[in-house]
Every structure is written in structure tokens, then in C-alpha cells.
Amino acid sequence: MTALTTGTSPGPRARRRLRWNPAYAFVAPSVVLIAVFIVEPIVQSGWMSLHDWSMGEASHRMRGFGNYADLLHDSRFWNALKVTCLYTAGTAAGQVALGLLLAEALRRTTWFSSVLRTAFFFPFIASMAVVGIVWRFLLDPQVGLVDAWSGHLGLGHPNWLQSTSLALPTMIGVGIWKGFGFTMIVLLAAIQAIPTYLYEAARLDGAGRVAQFRHVTLPTLRPSVLFVTVIATIQGLQLFDLSYVMTGGGPVFHTESVVQYLYQRGFVDFSLGYASAIAWVLFVVILAVALVQLRVLRYRDVD
């Protein structure tokens, strides 16, 4: 009898699992939207990357990993990947270094430091396309203010965005200017959360401000520094609008990013299968970089 009862009626744990939770009704719309607008396009792009999928054609030929094999011999793709990596390394390093220095310099809350924090953070809230248009105008060799100032300072009139040696460094400088405000705010909040007794103990040991920064601030900020580095790296690898607006990928592809090349193959050449393969390679690169950085963060945190 006991065995029969146990076999026909669910136990307390099973009844808890079957019980309707009203929270599901609030979560369901978000789950549906994520499935429709994020998961389904990802799966679809993966399927397209395995086909010779051209826009406007009724049938699509299965190629397997042929698109990925073609990428290995695509010199323009490798050039775009190199440009993206250089831009990412330059902007991430510049944003973190400049943000850290300014966060330390503006740690004391005064009206002047508050004004500077707002001024430095302001470029971050502007869209990248607007930033690109403004800087393209400032760097214009005919009417740009930067070009006029460089002439007055005796630096000549370099064509900032059309020179093969200056275009990418100029774009990296604009990227640093755009994003260092966010890094500064995050690190400033982390610095202000450091217990004051650590600095008092360091001062009692005779440590100056530089020594306090080196032996107290930097070790304590390690998780925050790695966090902003991950964010800056992911943003750098997704470079598109800045290069598209400022240089159009020129001169001679010296500033063409992976996403810009993807756009060219997918929406100009209509090779959607090949563009999907590029998107998946970029996705894997971003995922690998994020996992490595998060693993380093976890290791340092445990250490």
C-alpha cells in the first residue's frame, strides 16, 4: 500500500517544482524577446555561415566549413583583424592608464574636482558616430582647429586621417578620449571605497603619496582594473562606427576593422554566408579574450 501511494502521488519536492510561481509571468516577456531577437539570430547566422548564402538567391548551397577555410586565405580579413587588435590594445591601455591617473588625482571631492569629473565623463555618453563626425571636422586639413593649431605650433599640417602612418594612431587617440571617462568613474568609486586606515597605516610607516599609490591603491584596485580592461577590450573589438565615420576604412584599408569588413561583405557585396562566418570568428575571439581576462581576474582575486 505504501509503495502504491509513493508511486502514484508526487512527493513534496515534486509538488514544489510543479507549483506555479507568479514571477514566471514577469520573466516570460523578456525570455521571449531574448529568444526572438538574440538567440534566433545567433542560430540563424551560424546556419548561414555554413552555406554559400547570397542575398536575393532562392537556393543556398551547403558549403560546410568552406567559408571558414576561405577566411584563412583572405588577406583583407587578416589585415582587418590586425587593425582591430591594434586599436583594441591601444584604446584599452590608454583608457585604463589615463582613467587610473585621473581617478587618483581627483579622489578628493571638491567643487573643482566635481566639474572636472563631469567634463571628463561627458564624451562617454555621446554616441560614437557623433564623436567621429566632430573629430573628423576638427581634424579636417582645410578648416579643422587641430590642423590650425598644429600649424601655429610649428608641427606642419599633417593629414591626420589620410596618412597611412597617422590615421590609425589618430583614431586610437579619439577612442581613448571617448572612453576614459567611464574608466575614471569606475576606478574613482573603487578608490573611494578603500578603507582610510590603510592609508593611515602607510603614512605611519613613512610612505609618501607615490608609495601609498603603489602599495595600497594599486593592489586594492586590481579587480576593478581588470573589470574595466575587459569592458574596454570588448568595446575595442567591436570597432565599427568610429572607423566608418572618420576614415571609411582608409587610407588603403589601414583603418578597416573586422566589423567594417563584415558589413562590406554582408550588406554591400551581399555575401551573407561569408559575412556570417566573419561574425562567428569575431564572436569566438571576443569570447576567448573575455574568458581569459575573467580567469585572470578570478585567479588574482583568490590569490
Q: Rounded CA gap, 299 and 158, in Å?
A: 46
Q: What pairs with residue 52 in β-bridges?
A: 61
Contact between 271 and 265 under an 8 Å Cβ cutoff? The reply is: yes
* pTM to 2 decimal places: 0.83
The fold of 75-297 is MetI-like fold (1.10.3720)
Q: Which residue has the higher pLDDT, 38 or 151?
A: 38
Q: Where in the chain are the domains?
A: 75-297
- Return the sign of the alpha-carbon dihedral for residues 283, 289, 294, 299: positive
Residue 1 scores a pLDDT above 50: no
Mean pLDDT rounded to a whole number for the chain: 85
9, pLDDT greater than 80: no
Taking the CB of residue 132, how many other CB atoms lie within 10 A of it?
Answer: 21
